[in-house]
Amino acid sequence: MNLFDYISDRASKLWLEAYLHTSMVVQCTILAAVLGVLIGVAVYRSPIGSAVATALASTILTVPSFALLGLLIPLSGLGPTTAVIALVLYGLLPIVRNTIVGLDGVDPAITDAARGIGMSRFGVLTRVELRLAWPAILTGMRVATQMLMGIAVIAAYAKGPGFGAEVFSGLTNAGSTNSLNQAVTGTVGVVILALLLDGVYVLIKRFTISRGVRG
């Protein structure tokens, strides 16, 4: 069976795997964004806090995917929960770092002017600082999404959903009839999904950031 026959014969299964892979990555990116922005907001005024938060997030990223999944499996078992925890942890670094950089880059004169017209500290943060930091935060989310697309394949080791099962099955059964088709289909599928989601980020950037800021 050639590659095209394999894809045609298993189209419904591959569509489901594509949906599950995309859904898991998008949901994990959103969770990582919520946590990452909260962490960034909490520490960006403190150089020591910013350095510690960035260092901790960087440390997580240095742990190999298989090792992190192996550490999480005894705690949360096999399945989507372990995959989601691992992906959220891996997605934190670019979002935390870009949130800190974005908030730190806001011109103090702008925040002083906002306070001068009577805005509260919370109002300055949510209506001025976070809005000005949004391009940097969005870039962090974009980088995190691309990272998680690839790492989600490894999550199949913990029975996570998506194209990882296709790739792992192909590699495990190397030499069998459809092993190459499985590995190629899973790998190319992840690349296509990554490109599609990157296109979504281009649209989000276009509609949420003014042309002058986009440059």
Q: Which of 111, 115, 116 is nearest to 132 (CA)?
A: 111
pLDDT at position 215 is: 57
Distance, in Å, from the CA atom of 147 to the CA atom of 161, rounded to the nearest integer, reads: 16
pLDDT at position 212 is: 64
pLDDT at position 77 is: 87
**Structure-model confidence comparison of residues 165 and 52, the more confident one:** 52
Under 8 Å between Cβ of 27 and 83: no
Distance, in Å, from the CA atom of 25 to the CA atom of 99, rounded to the nearest integer, reads: 20
Mean pLDDT of 114-123: 88
Indicate if the alpha-carbon torsion angle 4, 7, 9, 11 is positive or negative. negative
What percentage of the chain carries pLDDT values higher than 70? 98
CA distance readout (Å), 202 to 16, 31, 79, 155, 195: 25, 20, 32, 27, 11
Residue 214 has pLDDT above 70, yes or no: no
What percentage of the chain carries pLDDT values higher than 90? 61
Under 8 Å between Cβ of 67 and 90: no
Long-range contacts of 14-19 (CB under 8 A, 24+ apart): 14/166, 14/185, 14/189, 17/161, 17/162, 17/163, 17/165, 17/166, 17/186, 17/189, 18/162, 18/163, 18/189, 18/193
Distance, in Å, from the CA atom of 182 to the CA atom of 6, rounded to the nearest integer, reads: 8
Mean pLDDT of 110-120: 88
- pTM reported for the whole predicted model: 0.90
Phi, psi dihedral angles at 15 (to 5 degrees): -60, -40
Q: Give the tens place of pLDDT for each residue, 10-44.
A: 899 999 999 999 999 999 999 999 999 999 999 99
Query: What 8-state DSSP symbol labels residue 106?
Result: S
Residue 208 has pLDDT above 70, yes or no: yes
